[in-house]
């Protein structure tokens, strides 16, 4: 009995390894952080792009409305693609769109907005990229939906028509 | 076009010959006497077809034949000829073809050079090797054919990843594969020897050569990869405990263990089961590494195109080999009565056992650290990272007794021993501890751990150093390898302790004034090359003694594919490297400058070469 | 003995004169332990992606605010999950990771002692 135990357990171990490796083939190896919802938004103070004010975070998100925080930059190509969606969202009165200008310079950012239109009510400057990290983002573009000072939804990558409808449905 | 056709059909012919060889060998296994020559010519023919196929691919790369998909994906007309050629094995398909080439080459050499062994054993080794070769043929032809057509023929290729356009990386894969594939010979031969019940001292002496050959190549292959990582990938690091690096380290650890174990088997018929297990494990680990790297289930800095279908093929192939060897081992291997010999506690045998024990521990740390995240993800969907801190915490404490054993073990005699020169050994230990305490204390580092670690390494260093001046050259190979290892550990430790760096943002013309170092960003030049444009920044660095160094790191903007790489400028001297690298910062007019002084870098490379030199001497040594 | 002394002297000549203390050493220690989300095979310390550069600035900022390394780690863990840390702490997910190698070591030792040294 004892002599047979060892070979059998070895076979079982190898079989388990096989199954695990097989299963892992299906997954992607790129890690994307889990989206934590219902987290309080970080507290910060920030310069604005289009005026020379400095605002506290609670002043920005004070209304009882749905806020969309969009991290963008003039050098980021996908930001260009999603811009029209943001324009459409800003037209709806349910949302207030806030921009966060990521590692950009003012001149380029302004000409980007002149060219494509400005959907943002306010634009926060994130010169060195640290504010977006405090939000838990790691690239551009990323979009957060905020309600009652809590993050209720987060999108990594550019928005599209499908996500546009999804965001619209959030308010219902 | 024509080359792709030739290459493709050569592959298929090679596969056919593999099948014929297996059939033929098994059919005529009993009347083997006439078999020898036919088999030799058949394996030569197989080698020939693989060579033809390989050169067909090389030529397709040289003439930039973009009707070939592999060439299209990995080459470009503006690339220098050298990188066109090295691009052949810088991609998945081509590297597998290279692997196949080495497989067939090695078995041919094995058949040619193995003389004093029974013919049955040679044939059986060939059969097992053919199983592996056929597996690779099928893998190539079915999932990663290097000769796929593209129609319409594109005008231009996509180019080779710039970080692979590097001399060290051009020769790194061939050398590494020689090591991996060498272990396949050990695998087949161990299985053959098990089946024929001839795992004995005689077999050990014969297979030791192959163990040494693959060990030397594997060591050098890892070294080249590390050198490449040092100046191409990062910020002056040379070992990142990245999965792909670990995957090459695992067979190395198994092979090193096997090498030591063979030393015992060479003299005394004992440890046979263990030697067989290690022989199987070495190649299985190489294959497991191939699976982990090529299937893309691990996340690594080293990029390989990944495709689940390929992963599945290697996975099934890998486990076929594992179960085949388990089957052979359990059916044919009966440990003899005198196998389980008693070892006296103080003897060379025991010290080699202890070496095996520690090596297996290191192997298990690396193996578990590498695959654990995969298991955790599959079982509980939790994603974690296992990185350098894990390996350091588990390996460093065990390195201390390991180093001490490395110093004392070779001093012991076979069978039963008594430690001679106790006073001398002890006094050297005291001296080592004193010196290292003295060194470490002056640098406010973590005193205790570093002192003990450096002491242990210094101890090994002094003992092996002294042995060079002893008249007897009996164990020269061993002594050189152990000396190299002590030097390696010392260099790494000092490198860690004494490295220093400055990170700053500078515009052209600006000066950074540190407490002891002044960095002047003097100017910028632009240079246009065939396949990239480069921005060369010129720095003058003045250290506290007023010595000036001019360093010019580069940013290269490759045209095909459009990737920017930063090329460090490294001034290597005997005692330290000065390492500077620049990077663009998004939307800023300054550069991110990183300047490092890294002592003993050259010694890290040298000591690994010394280690492999030890292997080389052992290989060349005539047995007396 | 002479050789040892000369070794020490050589050592001193080489290193004492131009050695300077690491600036940012604490920051480096922390960033070596954080994994970059953009180039996922590298640590934040080794990477030069935009994300990694911002992380470095943020770590500096947190250090200036007086946070300890542990607090900084848990701050990032909160944001990006366990994955961000290269040093997997000992918790219910990682017991096996840390203990299995040690168990293998003990088990191997037991086998050696049992079958080769104290075998009657």
CATH of the domain at B524: 2.60.98
Q: At what angle do helices B201-228 and B167-195 cross, to 10 degrees?
A: 160
Residues whose CB falls within 8 Å of the CB of residue B94, separated by 6 or more in sequence, listed in order = B57, B61, B70, B74, B87, B88, B146
Q: How confident is the model at residue C21 (pLDDT cuts 50, 70, 90)?
A: very low
Residues whose CB falls within 8 Å of the CB of residue A67, separated by 6 or more in sequence, listed in order = A60, A61, A95, A96, A97, A98, A145, A146, A147
Which C positions 48-77 lie with beta carbon below 8 A of chain A? 50-51, 53-55, 57-58, 61
Q: Facing residues of B542 across strands?
A: B518, B548
- Range list of H helices, C65-94: 69-80
Instruction: Check the CA dihedral B494-B497-B500-B501 and report its sign.
Output: positive
C107 Cβ under 8 Å from any chain A Cβ: no
Q: Across residues B92-104, what is the average pLDDT?
A: 92
Q: What is the rounded CA–CA span in Å between residue B65 and residue B59?
A: 8
By the 8 A CB rule, do A32 and A39 touch? no
Facing B500 at nearest CB: one of C20, C40, C116? C20
Percentage of chain B with pLDDT > 90? 36
Chain centroid, CA B186 distance in Å: 17
Chain B residues in contact with A25 by the CB 8 A cut-off are: 295, 297, 308, 311-312, 315
Q: What is the rounded CA–CA span in Å between residue A116 and residue A114?
A: 6
CATH class of the C23-87 domain in this structure:
mainly alpha
Q: Show which of B118, B146, B165 is a domain's final residue.
A: B165
> Average pLDDT of chain C?
79
By the 8 A CB rule, do C33 and C73 touch? yes
CB contact under 8 A, B330 and A22: no
In the Cβ-directed half-sphere of A34, how many Cα atoms lie within 13 Å? 13
Q: What is the rounded CA–CA span in Å between residue C25 and residue C11?
A: 23
Facing A33 at nearest CB: one of C38, C58, C81? C81
Which B positions 287-306 lie with beta carbon below 8 A of chain A? 291, 295-299, 306
- Is residue B472 over pLDDT 80? no
CATH of region A35-170: 3.40.30.10
Range from B44-58, B415-429, C11-25 carrying the lowest mean pLDDT? C11-25
Q: How confident is the model at residue B445 (pLDDT cuts 50, 70, 90)?
A: low
Chain C residues in contact with A30 by the CB 8 A cut-off are: 40
Residues whose CB falls within 8 Å of the CB of residue B209, separated by 6 or more in sequence, listed in order = B619
Instruction: Check the CA dihedral B300-B304-B305-B306 and report its sign.
Output: negative
Residue B572's alpha-carbon distances to B115, B497, B576, in angstroms, are 47, 18, 6
Q: Give B222-279 pLDDT, tens digit per residue.
A: 999 899 888 877 667 888 888 888 999 999 999 999 999 998 888 888 888 899 999 9
Q: Which residue of C has its CA nearest to B366?
A: C101
End-to-end CA distance of chain B: 55
Q: What is the rounded CA–CA span in Å between residue B256 and residue B486?
A: 16
By the 8 A CB rule, do C82 and C91 touch? no
More confident residue, B118 or B485: B485
- Is residue B444 over pLDDT 60? no
Residue B474 in any domain: the answer is no
Range from A11-25, B390-404, C27-41 carrying the lowest mean pLDDT? C27-41
Chain C residues in contact with B462 by the CB 8 A cut-off are: 4
- Is residue B155 over pLDDT 50? yes
How many domains is chain B built from?
2
Phi, psi of B346 (to 5 degrees): -110, 90
Q: Facing residues of A98 across strands?
A: A69, A122
Q: What is the rounded CA–CA span in Å between residue C62 and residue C36?
A: 18
Q: What is the pLDDT of residue C50?
A: 80
Facing C41 at nearest CB: one of B300, B364, B384? B300
Q: Across residues B108-125, what is the average pLDDT?
A: 87
CB contact under 8 A, C116 and B341: yes
Q: Across residues B296-318, what is the average pLDDT?
A: 76
* Nearest Cα to Cα of residue B403 among B505, B328, B485, B468: B485
Range from B376-390, C42-56, C71-85 carrying the lowest mean pLDDT? C42-56
In the Cβ-directed half-sphere of C110, how many Cα atoms lie within 13 Å? 6
Domain residue limits, chain A: 35-170
> Which three-class secondary structure state does DSSP give residue B312?
helix
Least Cα separation, residue C113 to chain B (angstroms):
9
Residues whose CB falls within 8 Å of the CB of residue B508, separated by 6 or more in sequence, listed in order = B521, B522, B523, B524, B537
Chain A residues in contact with C54 by the CB 8 A cut-off are: 103, 128-130, 132-133
Chain B residues in contact with C23 by the CB 8 A cut-off are: 501-503, 514-515
By the 8 A CB rule, do A123 and A50 touch? yes
Q: What is the rounded CA–CA span in Å between residue B455 and residue B490?
A: 9
Q: What is the pLDDT of residue A163?
A: 87
> Which long-range CB contacts under 8 A does B619-623 form with residues at least 24 apart?
B619/B209, B619/B212, B619/B213, B619/B216, B621/B476, B621/B477, B623/B205
> Average pLDDT of chain B?
86
Residue B282 in any domain: the answer is no
* Nearest Cα to Cα of residue B518 among C20, C93, C87, A10: C20
Q: What is the rounded CA–CA span in Å between residue B585 and residue B81?
A: 33
Secondary structure of A107-158 in the HEC alphabet? HHHHHHHHHHCCCCCEEEEECCCHHHHHCCCCCCCEEEEEECCEEEEEEECC
Residue B541 in any domain: the answer is yes
Name the pairing type of β-strands B554-558 and A45-47.
Answer: unpaired
**What is the pTM for the complete model shown?**
0.91
Q: Facing residues of B518 across strands?
A: B513, B542
Instruction: Give the domain range for residue B534.
Output: 500-602
By the 8 A CB rule, do B146 and B57 touch? yes
Q: At what angle do helices B167-195 and B243-265 cross, to 10 degrees?
A: 40
Beta strand extents in B379-507 (DSSP E only): 500-506
Chain B residues in contact with A27 by the CB 8 A cut-off are: 297, 377-378
> Which three-class secondary structure state does DSSP give residue B606?
helix
Q: Give B125-145 pLDDT, tens digit per residue.
A: 999 999 999 999 999 999 889
By the 8 A CB rule, do B612 and B620 touch? no
Q: How confident is the model at residue B403 (pLDDT cuts 50, 70, 90)?
A: very high
CB contact under 8 A, B364 and C17: no
Q: What is the rounded CA–CA span in Å between residue B434 and residue A109?
A: 62
């Amino acid at each position: 009995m004892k002599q047979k135990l060892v070979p059998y357990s070895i076979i079982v171990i190898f079989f388990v390894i096989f199954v695990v490796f097989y299963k892992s083939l299906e997954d992607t190896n790129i890690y994307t952080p889990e989206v934590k919802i219902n987290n309080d938004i970080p507290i910060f103070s920030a310069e604005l792009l289009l005026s020379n004010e400095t605002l506290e975070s609670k002043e920005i998100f004070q209304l009882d409305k749905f806020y969309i925080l969009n991290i963008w930059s003039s050098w980021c190509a996908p930001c260009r693609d999603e811009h029209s969606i943001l324009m459409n969202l800003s037209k709806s009165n349910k949302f207030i769109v806030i921009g966060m200008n990521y590692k950009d310079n003012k001149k380029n950012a302004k000409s980007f907005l002149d060219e494509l239109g400005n959907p943002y009510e306010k634009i926060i400057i994130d010169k060195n990229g640290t504010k977006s990290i405090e939000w838990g983002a790691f690239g551009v573009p990323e979009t957060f939906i905020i309600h009652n000072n809590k993050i209720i939804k987060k999108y990594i990558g550019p928005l599209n028509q499908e996500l546009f409808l999804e965001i619209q449905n959030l308010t219902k | 076009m024509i080359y792709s056709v030739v290459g493709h059909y050569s592959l298929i012919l090679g596969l056919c010959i593999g099948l014929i060889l297996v059939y033929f060998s098994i059919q005529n296994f009993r009347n083997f006497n006439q078999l020898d020559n036919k088999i030799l010519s058949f394996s030569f023919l197989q080698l020939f077809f693989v060579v033809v196929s390989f050169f067909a691919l090389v030529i397709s790369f040289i003439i930039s034949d973009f009707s070939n998909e592999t060439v299209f994906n990995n080459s470009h007309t503006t690339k220098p000829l050298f990188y066109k050629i090295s691009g052949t094995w810088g991609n998945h398909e081509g590297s597998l073809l290279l692997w196949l080439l080495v497989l067939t080459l090695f078995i041919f050499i094995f058949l040619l050079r193995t003389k004093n062994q029974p013919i049955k054993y040679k044939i059986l080794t060939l059969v097992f090797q053919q199983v592996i070769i056929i597996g690779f043929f099928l893998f190539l032809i079915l999932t990663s054919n290097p000769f796929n057509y593209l129609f319409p023929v594109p005008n231009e290729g996509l180019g080779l990843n710039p970080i692979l356009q590097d001399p060290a990386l051009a020769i790194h894969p061939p050398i590494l594969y020689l090591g991996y594939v060498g272990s396949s010979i050990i695998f087949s031969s161990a299985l053959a020897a098990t089946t024929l019940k001839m795992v004995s001292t005689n077999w050990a002496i014969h297979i030791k050569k192959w163990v040494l050959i693959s060990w030397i190549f594997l060591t050098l292959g890892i070294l080249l990869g590390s050198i490449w990582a040092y100046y191409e990938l990062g910020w002056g690091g040379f070992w990142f405990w990245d999965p792909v690096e670990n995957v090459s380290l695992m067979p190395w650890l198994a092979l090193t263990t096997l090498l030591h174990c063979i030393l015992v088997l060479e003299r005394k018929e004992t440890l046979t089961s263990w030697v067989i297990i290690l022989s199987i494990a070495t190649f299985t680990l190489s294959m497991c590494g191939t699976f982990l790297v090529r299937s893309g289930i691990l996340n690594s800095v080293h990029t390989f195109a990944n495709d689940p279908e390929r992963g599945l093929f290697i996975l099934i192939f890998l486990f076929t080999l594992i179960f085949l060897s388990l089957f052979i081992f359990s059916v044919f291997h009966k440990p003899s009565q005198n196998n389980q010999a008693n070892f006296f506690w103080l003897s060379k045998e025991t010290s080699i056992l202890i070496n095996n024990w520690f090596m297996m521990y290191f192997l298990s740390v690396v193996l578990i650290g590498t695959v654990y995240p995969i298991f955790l993800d599959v079982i509980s969907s939790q994603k974690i990272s296992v990185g350098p801190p894990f390996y350091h915490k588990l390996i460093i404490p065990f390195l201390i007794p390991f180093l001490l054993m490395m110093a004392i073990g070779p001093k012991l005699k076979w069978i039963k021993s008594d430690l001679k020169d106790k006073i001398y050994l002890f006094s050297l230990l005291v001296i080592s501890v004193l010196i290292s305490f003295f060194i470490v204390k002056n640098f406010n580092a973590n005193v205790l751990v570093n002192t003990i670690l450096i002491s242990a390494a210094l101890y090994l260093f002094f003992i092996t150093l002294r042995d060079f001046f002893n008249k007897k050259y009996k164990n020269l190979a061993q002594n050189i390898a152990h000396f190299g290892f002590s030097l390696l550990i010392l260099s790494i430790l000092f490198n860690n302790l004494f490295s220093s760096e400055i990170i700053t943002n500078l515009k052209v013309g600006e000066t950074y004034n540190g407490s002891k170092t002044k960095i002047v960003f003097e100017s910028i030049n632009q240079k246009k090359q065939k396949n990239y444009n480069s921005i060369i920044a010129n720095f003058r660095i003045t250290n506290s003694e007023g010595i000036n160094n001019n360093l010019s790191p580069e940013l290269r903007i490759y045209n095909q594919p459009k990737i920017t790489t930063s090329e460090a400028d490294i001034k290597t001297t005997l005692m330290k490297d000065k390492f500077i690298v620049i990077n663009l910062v998004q939307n800023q007019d300054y550069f991110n400058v990183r300047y490092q002084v890294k002592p003993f870098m050259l010694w890290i490379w040298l000591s690994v070469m010394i280690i492999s030199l030890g292997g080389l001497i052992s290989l060349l040594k005539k047995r007396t | 003995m002479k050789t040892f002394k000369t070794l020490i002297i050589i050592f001193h000549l080489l290193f004492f004169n131009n050695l300077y203390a690491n600036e940012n050493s604490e920051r480096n220690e922390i960033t070596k332990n954080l994994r970059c989300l953009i180039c996922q095979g590298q640590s934040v310390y080794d990477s030069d992606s935009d994300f990694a550069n911002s992380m470095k600035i943020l770590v500096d900022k947190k250090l200036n605010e007086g946070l300890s390394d542990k607090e900084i780690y848990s701050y990032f863990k909160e944001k990006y999950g366990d994955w961000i840390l290269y040093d997997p702490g000992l918790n219910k997910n990682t017991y096996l990771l840390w203990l299995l190698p040690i168990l293998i070591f003990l088990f191997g030792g037991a086998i050696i002692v049992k079958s080769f040294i104290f075998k009657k």
